[in-house]
């Protein structure tokens, strides 16, 4: 899609996006588009979907006078007053979630979603935020907004999109922008709707094109645990770890040089339709079976295939090391995103929330080999 068309578009399929579209759909969605449009021929599998644009977000905020009300509410807010910050954020989020989408935006989202679900109306999707100013040289907005998994049907997608948009005004995000000197209107959100791989029936995690602890560049570092990858991303589990030597992998030799068995005490799964109806929860966390804790969540073949994806992604971007998410469902492995790592010290993902900022490399989320059907 040309930049002129994209500037006024409300939604865009991932395959029409490139890394040059960060200002329109944010870094995460632009990266997904780059991988889908450029790396599919190289064997890197990325689930499809679409993104709303920054233009759509701003059009929504102009609808029913939302932008003006938000600006007025924040104009005199003292973000150091925790109670006042919480009250203002909650009020703004309620306004956003209760305001209907403009008819043309509602229609555009509905039409694009209908294309995705034509052959599988019951398919599950992730609805994720992608900020148009996610990682600037002196600031990082990544991780501040909401992500929703196991979203089924257009009504749920539209509702979760509003919650994603509303999360731009959570307490942390409001305070961060104020303290960094960014006008609230400088940041727009794109909502990405991506078909999910049933890694809740298999395994998922994060892989890096560098050893994140030492900075050693000649290995791919892969973390993995059973279930949805959010437990690894959030630092909620101690995952399995695999180190793959890049030169050996390229030479077609046995390339796994080290593996560490993680405890993998819990895993995240899809909530059943009955559980969703009763509680509104889309996912649930359960204990991992003891026999699964004591074995690796990925086979050597899975690790080698994922590491191959990492090398392809690294070569394509030809820049700093990358990280990415990799889901593993019964239909095989896939990459969910690829990102240049942000700011701060290099560190290894651990089971502590404060370790979520793994810096100095790029990462990719993965989902892959599992015990059941793909999603």
- Tell me which residue of 32, 34, 328, 323 sits closest to 194, measured CA to CA: 32
- Tell me which residue of 92, 58, 57 sits closest to 174, measured CA to CA: 92
Instruction: Name 128's bridge partners.
Output: 147, 192
Count CB-CB contacts under 10 A for residue 250.
Answer: 11
pLDDT score of 111: 98
Domain boundary among 177, 196, 215: 196
Say yes or no: 278 and 166 in one domain: no
Say yes or no: 43 and 147 in one domain: yes
Domain boundary among 165, 196, 227: 196
pLDDT score of 319: 63
Say yes or no: 69 and 148 in one domain: yes
Q: What is the pLDDT of residues 110-123, one digit of tens each?
A: 999 999 999 999 99
Domain extent for 17: 1-196
CATH number at residue 239: 3.30.470.20
Q: What is the pLDDT of residues 301-335, one digit of tens each?
A: 999 999 999 999 989 987 666 565 655 554 455 55
pLDDT score of 328: 56
Domain boundary among 175, 196, 217: 196
* Strands of the chain, DSSP E: 11-13, 49-52, 125-131, 135-136, 139-140, 147-151, 189-195, 203-208, 219-226, 240-245, 256-260, 266-270, 283-287, 322-329, 332-333, 339-340, 362-367
Say yes or no: 7 and 151 in one domain: yes
Say yes or no: 7 and 141 in one domain: yes
The domain tally of the chain equals: 2
Say yes or no: 191 and 205 in one domain: no
Do residues 229 and 194 lie in contact, with contact meaning Cβ atoms separated by under 8 Å?
no
**Phi, psi for residue 353 in degrees, rounded to 5:** -55, -35
pTM of the entire predicted model: 0.84
Can you list the residues of the chain whose pLDDT is less than 70?
A: 1-4, 133-144, 319-364, 366-375
pLDDT score of 342: 46
> What tokens were used for 232?
């690894």
pLDDT score of 203: 92
Say yes or no: 68 and 217 in one domain: no
Vertex 258, ends 255 and 261: CA angle to 5°? 130
Do residues 51 and 31 lie in contact, with contact meaning Cβ atoms separated by under 8 Å?
no
Vertex 144, ends 22 and 272: CA angle to 5°? 100
Say yes or no: 134 and 227 in one domain: no
Say yes or no: 232 and 106 in one domain: no
Q: What is the pLDDT of residues 249-263, one digit of tens each?
A: 999 999 999 999 999
pLDDT score of 375: 29
Say yes or no: 225 and 330 in one domain: yes
CATH number at residue 172: 3.30.1490.20
- Tell me which residue of 121, 134, 373, 348 sits closest to 223, measured CA to CA: 348
Say yes or no: 134 and 216 in one domain: no
pLDDT score of 292: 95
> What tokens were used for 371?
């015990």
């Amino acid at each position: 899609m040309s930049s002129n068309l994209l500037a006024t578009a409300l939604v865009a399929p991932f395959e029409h996006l490139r890394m040059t579209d960060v200002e329109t759909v944010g870094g995460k969605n632009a990266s997904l588009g780059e991988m889908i449009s450029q790396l599919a021929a190289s064997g890197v599998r990325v689930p499809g979907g679409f993104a709303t644009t920054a233009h759509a977000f701003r059009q929504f905020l102009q609808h029913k006078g939302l932008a003006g009300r938000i600006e007025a509410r924040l104009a005199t807010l003292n973000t150091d007053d925790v109670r006042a910050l919480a009250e203002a954020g909650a009020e703004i989020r309620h306004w956003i979630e209760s305001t209907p989408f403009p008819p043309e935006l509602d229609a555009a989202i509905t039409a694009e979603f209908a294309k995705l679900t034509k052959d599988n109306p019951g398919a599950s999707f992730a609805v994720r935020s992608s900020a148009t100013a996610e990682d600037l040289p002196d600031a990082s907005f990544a991780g501040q907004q909401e992500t929703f998994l196991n979203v089924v049907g257009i009504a749920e997608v539209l509702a979760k999109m509003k919650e994603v948009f509303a999360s731009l005004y959570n307490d942390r995000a409001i305070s961060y922008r104020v303290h960094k000197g960014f006008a609230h209107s400088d940041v727009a959100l794109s909502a990405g709707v991506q078909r999910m791989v049933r890694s809740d029936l298999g395994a998922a995690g994060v892989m890096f094109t560098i050893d994140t602890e030492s900075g050693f560049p000649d290995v791919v570092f892969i973390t993995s645990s059973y279930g949805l990858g959010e437990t690894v991303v959030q630092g909620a589990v101690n995952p399995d770890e695999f180190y793959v030597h890049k030169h050996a992998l390229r030479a077609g030799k046995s390339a796994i040089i080290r593996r560490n068995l993680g405890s993998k005490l819990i895993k995240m799964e899809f909530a059943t339709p009955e559980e969703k109806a009763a509680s509104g929860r889309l996912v649930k966390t359960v204990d991992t079976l003891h026999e699964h804790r004591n074995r690796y969540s990925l086979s050597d073949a899975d690790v080698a295939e994922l590491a191959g994806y990492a090398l392809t992604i690294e070569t394509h971007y030809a820049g700093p090391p990358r990280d990415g998410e990799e889901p593993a469902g019964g239909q095989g492995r896939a990459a969910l995103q690829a990102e240049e790592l942000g700011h701060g010290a290099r560190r290894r993902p651990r089971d502590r929330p404060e370790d979520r900022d793994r810096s100095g490399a790029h990462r990719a989320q993965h989902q892959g080999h599992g015990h059941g059907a793909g999603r």
